[in-house]
Every structure is written in structure tokens, then in C-alpha cells.
Structure 1
Amino acid sequence: MVDSALARPHTTVVLAMSADGKIADVRRSPARFGSAADKAHLEKQVAQADAVLFGAGTLRAYGTTLRVSHPELLEMRSQQGKPAQPVQIVCSRSGEFDPNLRFFTQPVPRWLLTITLGAKAWQERAEFERILIAEAPEAPEQTLDWEQAFQQLATLGIQRLAVLGGGELVGSLMALDLIDELWLTVCPLILGGAIAPSPVQGLGFSAESAPRLELLSAEANGPEVFLHYRLQR
């Protein structure tokens, strides 16, 4: 549902991580260490969303996005009056990524969330159905205004938003209190590395100001653990 007070979508982060809290290795390789059960879980979360948001780094790493393909999930969306696929939203200040990525041939609706500078290369092209510009007034050429962006999404009918990474994006949204829930899959491997990305990056929080979570569920499925949290407010 849209948060009427803040006029923004209900936002859920969905990530798989290693047992030591890394979402990719030190080379920032695509994180494909989750099991088939984790992929099914991810698809379920995507199917429940009106839109999926991810950063340009995530797009560059994978080159594709996860489509809803399971018949039951497609039927669920149909019964809810939703299109077969949620909107896939790439956020990038620069707008610099390869138009030959397979993502741009996948049968999904694609939007770009950017600033004026990042929009220039795509405005006369067909890859994105919609280009959203959300700039901080004090630094329009450098900064995405996330509160403005989320208000635009709500106005466009996005009620439920799934955020699939990366850590810098999640960190930015967490710092502005724009996240409502987290689904974290803990996978049975250790990646280590001081520069390997974690679920929440950016400047971080002090222990006193850190966001607090309420555990909604914890389920072990084979060697993985699925954790569902809600942000305490």
C-alpha cells in the first residue's frame, strides 16, 4: 500500500548474502550462490511488487533482470488485475550502461530513474518506456532526490516496490527511512574481504542511531535461512 503520510510505495529489500554478510565477492561478481529455493523466493517477492528497483551496478553485473515466469505467480498477478511483469526500474545518476545488455531485449516494462545529465543519452531512444528525473534542488547535476523519486512512483501507481540492490542503493534509502521490510537469505558460504559489498553500504550508522528491526519470521530451508524483518518506527 502507499504510505499516505509520506506519499510513497511500501518498500521491501530482497537480498541473498553470505553467512558473513556479503552480497558479492571482492571482484563484485554476480551473486549466484543462492539455491533454487532462494531464486523461487526472489521470484515470489518480485511477483508481489508493482515495480522492482535496482542500481546500475547491479544491472552491469548481471546484464538481465528476473522475470516472473512461474504459472501460479502469473495467474496471481492476473487475478489481481496487474500486468504480467512488474516495472523494472534502473536508477543511475550517470545513465551510463551498455544498450546491448540482454536486459534491453527482455519482455518487461523498463523505466530509468536518473537526473537531467543521466537522461540525456536515453531521451530519444526506445529502451525505456519512461524516464523519471528526480534531482536535489541544491545539487541538480549530482544527486538523486530519493524522497522526490518515491513521491513520483506513488503518483504513477507504484504501491509496492521491491529493491534488489546493491548496497549503496539500500544504504541511501535506509538513511532516509524509505524502507519498510527486508528479506535476507543467509547462504552457507564465507566470502570475506574488506571491500566486498554488504547489504547496506554508504556512510553507515552509529549504534545509537542505527535503524532497529523487528523479526517477523525465520525459516531454515536446507542450508539456507530466510529472514524477514520489519523496520521499527
Structure 2
Amino acid sequence: MDQIRPHITVILAMSADGKITDVNRSPARFGSAADKAHLETQIARSDAVLFGAQTLRAYGTSLSITNRALLQQRSLNQQPPQPTHIVCSRSGQLSPDLPFFQQPIPRWLITAPAREQFWRDRLEFSRILTPFTESGAIEWCSALTQLSHLRIQTLLVMGGGQLIASLLANHFIDELWLTVCPLLLGGSDAPTPVEGAGFPASLAPRLHLLSVETIEQEVFLHYAVQR
């Protein structure tokens, strides 16, 4: 019997040589206004967005919905104005001074049990989940089941590469949006969309191309992950 879990979509912008940021892990702001609008549209279609602590530290904020048409559509769908923004951090080492914590958005945290008490006594996160094994690995089956029970049916993952690799390794990613941007970042240590240990070619996740769209100098690729 299939696990009850959210439908999971990954969305990333990358350079033409497959990097999601430069070797210094600077905030990736090389996407165009069209790419940002595309990202906001996908956020508006989701019940929640998920990202790792490194992604949050790099940007300091998350992207909230500001487009009036998208806000109106969510209202017509009887959804709250903003989806839930979920940070995944095993260490739970996040600065409460980040601008993220001042944004008018719902915030949840996935962290190890040892860090739960620190955040539970504060106001930054309205919900804390601790689906970790004794060895410190995240138990994705438990995490996603909990999210499903909390009425998260569509989950948008916005990075980074380690988080995406973990979800891919557990066969939990359903779709992938990649925006290919017209620049070359290089660097053997620059992050890519999928980090982690990597996959042997015989076991590599296979993709089915759903659509291709070119807007000015960017290419928008939409894939389904094959089972």
C-alpha cells in the first residue's frame, strides 16, 4: 500500500553548467523577473514550501506571495494567503534575527529532538516536527506522513542540493522544475541541484520531460520523476 504523503515538486534555477549558486555559496539572484514570477506561481499552487537551513541562511528570507491575482486565486480556493514555510535543519542552529522571522508567513521547523525545546519556548515557529532516527538521520516516511495529516497535500521544495538528494534517494520527489539561466558559474565545489553521495548510473532517478518553454534567454524545463 502506497504511503499517504504530499505531492512533492522541486523548483530550482541553475546556471547553464548546472550550478545553483557560485563557489562562495552566495545568494543565487541570477534568475530573471520571469523566473521569479514563475517561482511565485508555483509557491501559490502549494500548501507548503520546504527548504534547508543553508538556503535560509544564504537568503535571509523566503519568497512570499505578493501578486494580487495569485492571492485572489488562493482565496477562491479557500486557502490561506500564504503557504506554510517549513525549514529543515538537523542542528536547528538558526539566528532568530533573520528577516525571515519578521515575514508575515506561517513558519514550521523540522529539526532533531535535541533542538526542539529551544524553539518550542519561542514564537518564531508555530509547529515543530522531530522525525529523526537515533542516529540523527531524518525519517522521511514519518515526516511526510505527519505533513499529510496536517493537510499538506502539495509540497514545493526550494533547495538546497543536500535536501533534494535525500528526498530523491527515498523516492519521494514527483516533479522537477528547472530554469536554465544564461551564465556559467564553474567551480568544482559550487553546489548543484542534487548533492549528497550521488547515484550510480544504473540506479540514477530517471526523468520524463513534460514541457519546455523559452522566455527570452532562459529555458524552463518541467520533468516528472519516473517510478
TM-score category of the 2 structures, normalised to the smaller one:
over 0.9
Secondary structure of the equivalent of 2:36? Answer: helix
**How far 1:101 moved relative to its partner?**
0.4
Aligned equivalents of 2:31, 2:117: Cα separation in 1: 37
Conserved? CA contact 1:46–1:86, under 8 Å: yes
Aligned equivalents of 1:12, 1:132: Cα separation in 2: 20
Residue in structure 2 matched with residue 119 of structure 1 by the alignment: 116
> Percent identity between the aligned chains?
60
Q: TM-score, normalised by structure 2?
A: 0.98
Residues 1:74 and 2:71 aligned together: yes
Residues 1:37 and 2:31 aligned together: no
**How far 1:114 moved relative to its partner?**
1.0
Aligned equivalents of 1:51, 1:117: Cα separation in 2: 25
1:181 to 175, 179, 198: 175
Residue in structure 2 matched with residue 27 of structure 1 by the alignment: 24
Structure 2, unaligned runs of 5 or more: none
Alignment of 1:46-85 (within 5 A): 46-85=43-82
Residues 1:18 and 2:15 aligned together: yes
Worse-superposed segment, 119-128 or 78-87? 119-128
Structure 1, unaligned runs of 5 or more: none
Number of equivalences = 227
Residues 1:216 and 2:210 aligned together: yes
1:195 to 189, 201, 220: 189
Runs of 4+ in structure 1 over 3 Å off: none
Q: TM-score, normalised by structure 1?
A: 0.96
Deviations 1:8-43 (A, max 9, x none): 100000000000000000000000000000000000
Secondary structure of the equivalent of 1:165? Answer: coil
Residue in structure 2 matched with residue 90 of structure 1 by the alignment: 87
Matched to 2:155, the amino acid is L
**How far 1:186 moved relative to its partner?**
0.1
Conserved? CA contact 1:93–1:117, under 8 Å: no
Aligned equivalents of 2:28, 2:115: Cα separation in 1: 27
Worse-superposed segment, 50-59 or 114-123? 114-123
Aligned equivalents of 1:60, 1:38: Cα separation in 2: 21
Residues 1:101 and 2:88 aligned together: no
Matched to 2:27, the amino acid is P
User: How well do the aligned residues superpose, as a CA RMSD in angstroms?
Assistant: 0.8
Conserved? CA contact 1:92–1:118, under 8 Å: no
Matched to 1:183, the amino acid is W
